Amino acid sequence: MVTSPAPLEASPTGLNWSGNVRYASTGVVQPPDLAGVQEAVAGAAAAGTRVRALGSRHSFSTVADTDGLHLSTRGLGTRVEVDADGLAAVPSGATYAEVAAQLHAAGRALHNMGSLPHISVAGACATGTHGSGDGNGALATAVRGLELVTASGEVVRLDADHPDLPGAAVSLGALGVVTRLWLATEPAYDVAQTVWTDVPADALADEIEAVMGSGHSVSVFDDLRDPSVVSAVFVKQRVDGRADLAPVLAGRPSAAGPVHPVPGIDPAPATEQGGVSGPWHERLPHFRAEFVPSVGEELQTEYFVPRAAIREARAALAEVADQVAPVLMVHELRTVAADELWLSGAHGRDTVAIHFTWRPEPGPVGEAVRLLERVLAPYDPRAHWGKVAGGTVPRCDPAGAARFAVLRDRLDPGRAFGNAFLDAELDSLAAAQSST
């Protein structure tokens, strides 16, 4: 049965999560089923109205914005189904918190999670969202299949061996509305999270590769205020396969109590620490699902550079630490394994992700970001699709963008799912690459 989509408010405020983007959409529809998504998309496209799928609104960039219609897939529900091979069919609008709880109850797990479980699966995969861990690919590397609704209202299914899947797994919403994803899972595992604070900076710099390899997922946090110490190192170790700790960590006591990644903030939202083992999904994110993640009033920026350049990139950052520190809440280093997803920040190279949580001050943040893009330029940086950037760094591998453009021409020739962000950040990159 085809049910007409019910119009909703864009959001209570018309803003993204952090409040730095006021959406220009004319409204949001939330169809109750797949047929409703087909009808809404085809109807809008026929009327010449552009459509943008909207996830949980956690992107800081204007990637999700549109001057047309927003479409939420929350109406498709949140129920996960796991088959006998462990392949999980996930409704696109479900959050990682909702999906992880069901997987865990079924004895299954994902390979990794981002810092927060509040984000939608489709929205996170669409921007190449990642967690940390030398051997862990971005979250979209778990995608083994996709169902999406294209501009004509047709339902397209891409299975694991489909040649378009590496393009569609990180799609920025540019190919259509993803309605369902199939994710690889593994048997559920436990994780123990331990935090070290005020780690000597020189020793950490000497051992940086060993530090990043000290667990399944490792984050190095620093507010860049004291060059002699690094604020905190979070190590999340799988209980079924603990990695060796770097000597700089093994040789010193861990934090006596819970620690928030941002220095000086109440640690209540942080997931359990102190080396207490527990379910994967309650340790891999930094933040608990029932709390506001991070700080709430903030901006974020992140650059991906080849992991081989981790020392040089850190040294470049140290040179401008004094200039960025006044507007910085915290900086985080994570690692991401190389992948084959065309628009992913880790496409084709093992990566170190260099993240910044900023005070919500767009002017000074803009200056700091441009400075960072200047000093990181020698290391071939890519900027996170979902975060604030300075416009001088590409968002992905230009060759990946050119390949994606061919797929996009085929699936969305009329650019029914386009927006100004894609025009500026994707089309120009693909065009430049094609002309070389």
Ligand X SMILES: Cc1cc2nc3c(=O)[nH]c(=O)nc-3n(C[C@H](O)[C@H](O)[C@H](O)COP(=O)(O)OP(=O)(O)OC[C@H]3O[C@@H](n4cnc5c(N)ncnc54)[C@H](O)[C@@H]3O)c2cc1C
Q: Which residues bind ligand X (CB under 6 A)?
A: 17-18, 52-59, 63-64, 73, 92, 114-116, 119-120, 122-124, 126-127, 129-130, 172-173, 177-178, 293-294, 300, 384, 386
Shortest spacing between CB 217 and ligand X, in angstroms: 10
- How many CB atoms are located within 10 Å of the residue 276 CB? 12
- For residue 52, the minimal CB distance to ligand X (Å) is 5
**Residue 348: CA count within 13 A, CB half-sphere:** 10
Q: Is 88:187 a contact under the CB 8 Å cutoff?
A: no
Chain position carrying tokens 């999904």: 281
Tell me the C-alpha distance between 252 and 233, whole Å. Answer: 12
Q: Which tokens belong to 310?
A: 């981790």
Q: At its nearest, how many Å lie between ligand X and the CB of residue 97?
A: 12
Closest among 73, 74, 71, 92 to 28, alpha carbons compared = 71
Q: Which is nearer to ligand X, 114 or 306 (CB)?
A: 114
83 near 189, Cβ under 8 Å?
Answer: no
Q: Which is nearer to ligand X, 112 or 273 (CB)?
A: 112
353, 302 Cβ separation under 8 angstroms: yes
Residue 58 or 331 with smaller CB distance to ligand X: 58
Pick 220 or 248: Cβ nearer ligand X: 220
Cα(79)–Cα(102) distance, integer angstroms: 8
The nearest distance, CB 384 to ligand X, in angstroms, is 6
Instruction: Write down the least CB distance from residue 176 to ligand X, Å.
Output: 7
Shortest distance, position 274 Cβ to ligand X, whole Å: 22
Distance between CA atoms of residues 251 and 269, nearest Å:
28
Q: Which is nearer to ligand X, 196 or 287 (CB)?
A: 287
What the block records as the tokens of 167 is: 């393009």
Alpha-carbon distance of 194 to 277, in angstroms, equals 10
- For the bound state, the minimum distance from the C-beta of residue 92 to ligand X, rounded and expressed in Å, comes to 4
DSSP-derived letter for residue 157 is: E
**Residue 251: other Cβ atoms inside 10 A:** 9
What is each CA distance from 363 to 104, 332, 340, in whole angstroms? 43, 22, 36
Closer to ligand X by CB, 27 or 86: give it. Answer: 27
Which of 18, 197 has the CB closer to ligand X? 18
Which residue number, 97 or 172, has a Cβ lying nearer to ligand X?
172
Q: Which residue, 178 or 183, has its beta carbon nearer to ligand X? A: 178
- Min dist CB 352 to ligand X, Å, is 13
* Surface-to-core class of residue 423, CB atoms within 10 Å of its CB (0-12 exposed, 13-18 middle, 19+ buried): exposed
- CA neighbor of 131 nearest in space, from 117, 112, 103: 112
Q: Which residue in 364, 311, 348 sits closest to 333, CA to CA?
A: 311
Nearest distance from C-beta of residue 293 to ligand X, angstroms:
4
Minimum distance between the CB of residue 131 and ligand X, rounded to whole angstroms?
6
Q: Which of 69, 324 has the CB closer to ligand X?
A: 69
Q: What is the DSSP letter of 253?
A: P
Cα gap 415→388, rounded to integer Å:
24
Minimum distance between the CB of residue 426 and ligand X, rounded to whole angstroms?
11
Q: Which is nearer to ligand X, 103 or 178 (CB)?
A: 178
Amino acid (one-letter) located at 154: E
Nearer to ligand X, 173 or 400 (CB): 173
- Taking the complex as a whole, the smallest distance from the CB of residue 57 to ligand X amounts, in Å, to 5
Residue 271 CA: distances (Å) to CA of 25, 75, 80, 192: 35, 29, 24, 10
CB proximity list for 341: less than 8 A, separation 6 or greater: 128, 138, 140, 141, 166, 167, 169, 170, 347, 400
Q: What angle do CA 52, 53, 58 make, to 5 degrees?
A: 110
